[in-house]
Each structure stands twice: as C-alpha cells, then as structure tokens.
Amino acid sequence: MKTTVSHQSHQTFEDIKQVDSNRVEFWYARALAKVLEYSDFRNFIKVINKAKEACANSGLEVTNHIVEVNEEIEHGKGAKSSYPSFALSRYACYLIVQNADPSKRVVANGQTYFAIQTRRAELQDDEKFSQLKEDEKRLFLRNELKEHNKQLVEAAFNAGVESNLDFAIFQNHGYKGLYGGLDAKDIHAKKELKKSQKILDHMGSTELAANLFRATQAEEKLKRDNIKGKANANQTHHEVGKKIRQTIEELGGEMPEDLPNPKKSVKSIEKEQAKFQKK
C-alpha cells in the first residue's frame, strides 16, 4: 500500500509541471500547495520564504528559482481568476518540500522524490557533465561525496556521534538502509576488494550518486530535525538510506548492490589524469 501511495504522489508532482516557451520546466506555487495539502496559501507562503532563505544560503540567486507571477485558478463551470503566486524551479520545489510539514505523507514522499529528481536534473542540465566520460563522472562524484561526507561528519558530531567508532557505526546504518541490510564490510566483500581498497573508490557513477543522495539527505535531516543522541542519529541515517532505496526501486532503477564494479578505481583515474596534465 505504501508503494502505491508514494508512486501516486510522484506522478502528481510531475502532472502539475509546466513548460514555458523556451522549454524550461517550472511549477506554480498554488498548484504545488494543493498537492502538498496546504488549504491556506498564506501558510504555504511561510514555507516558500524558508525555501528562499535556504536558496540564498546555498549561494544561489533566489530569483533564478522563485519568481513572483500571477497564476490562473479555475473555478466551477470553467471560470478562471488570476491570483498572486510564484513560478518555481525544480530545485525550489525541492527546497519547499524540505521545509514543508513532514507529518503529511505526501510531503514525506515529496522530500525523497525531489531530492533525487533535482540531482538528476542538475546532472542532465550541465552540458559539461553530460559530456564527461564515465571515469570523469566517477571522479567528479567521488570528490563531491568527499566534501559532503565532511559535512555529514560535522552534523553527526553535533547530534552526539563523537568517536571514530561511533561514526563507523553511524555510517553502517546508512549503508544498511541503502543496500538492503549490507554494511560497509559486506559491500567490501561483495565487491571482492583487497583490505586496503575503499568501497567508494570502486563504485560507478550511478552508485556514487546514490550515496551522494544518502549523505546530503542525512546531513539535512539531522540538522532540520535537530536530532540528538547516537541512537537517534543512527536510526535517522538508516531511514534516509532506506527511503532512497525505496525511491530508486519505484523509479525502476537497479539496486546499488547489484550495480557492476568498474574496472578501474577512482585513485587510478586520478593518477591517469595527473599524468595527462603533465604531458
């Protein structure tokens, strides 16, 4: 039953998508408010304001993602009226559902949905990234993951995950959620790696992207929900990983543990690039 509800919610988000004359996709705020079950648009504006703040804090230009417009609303018998509203980018929708009421089931579904779809759209829209070869994509994502893991460490530390052992346990909870019960040691064994080899250096771009989603969403949830205590932090990381796994399944993707191992490690790719740059 949960899968059906989640899938219906995902379809609804796409159903209200608009495309302008330049083939740029956007969402109307009032339509999105209705999907997210906000009956009073004034309450939804508060969520939009939080999204604006989050966008600005990310170093992005707010007006590139949230623009004041007039939105036509259809009433009975085909009559239409124009109301003040906003045109929202996919990223803005993502920020909005991240700041919306998480007790609403449709919001909970939307948080995971837009997280993955936004990242997918970013990668598709970036011409330079789309032209990269698989090895270069892996290098790019691996470096992104390194940076976000640092931020995840900080967020986990603030939640009470203090020692190296604590963090290893915390990380394993995230892996278990995303990999259907497999922890880092299990993934290492499944990839048939040597003791000195790191699992993140032996992932393809799709698997790295899934782990990047896990790291970024876990960090955001720890901060947003002000999670305190090791046990709660571990549970949060596990839930985030599990939710992302569920969404990958609903989108028809292959489970992370079933993705093929690349022939070269990220370290090998880095060495090859360094030699090329010297030449």
pLDDT of residue 18: 92
Residues 29-46 pLDDT 10s: 999 999 888 989 999 999
Supply the DSSP symbol for 181.
T
Taking the C-alpha atoms of residue 149 and residue 216, their distance in angstroms, rounded to an integer, is 8
Mean pLDDT of 89-105: 83
pLDDT of residue 66: 95
Q: State the residue range of the domain holding 216.
A: 134-269
Last residue of a domain, one of 96, 123, 148: 96
What counts of helices (H) and strands (E) characterise the chain? 12, 4
Last residue of a domain, one of 78, 96, 114: 96
pLDDT of residue 42: 93
pLDDT of residue 1: 26
Taking the C-alpha atoms of residue 107 and residue 96, their distance in angstroms, rounded to an integer, is 9
pLDDT of residue 231: 97
Q: Is the pLDDT of residue 91 over 70?
A: yes
Q: Supply the mean pLDDT for the chain.
A: 85
Q: Is the pLDDT of residue 102 over 80?
A: no
Longest dimension (CA), the chain: 71
Taking the C-alpha atoms of residue 211 and residue 129, their distance in angstroms, rounded to an integer, is 18
Q: Residues 119, 106: contact at Cβ < 8 Å? A: no
Q: Residues 168, 238: contact at Cβ < 8 Å? A: no
230 lies in some domain: yes
49 lies in some domain: yes
Mean pLDDT of 131-147: 83
**Any idea which of 138-142, 158-162, 221-225, 236-240 has the lowest mean pLDDT?**
138-142
Number of domains the chain contains: 2
pTM above 0.85, yes or no: no
Mean pLDDT of 154-161: 96
226 lies in some domain: yes
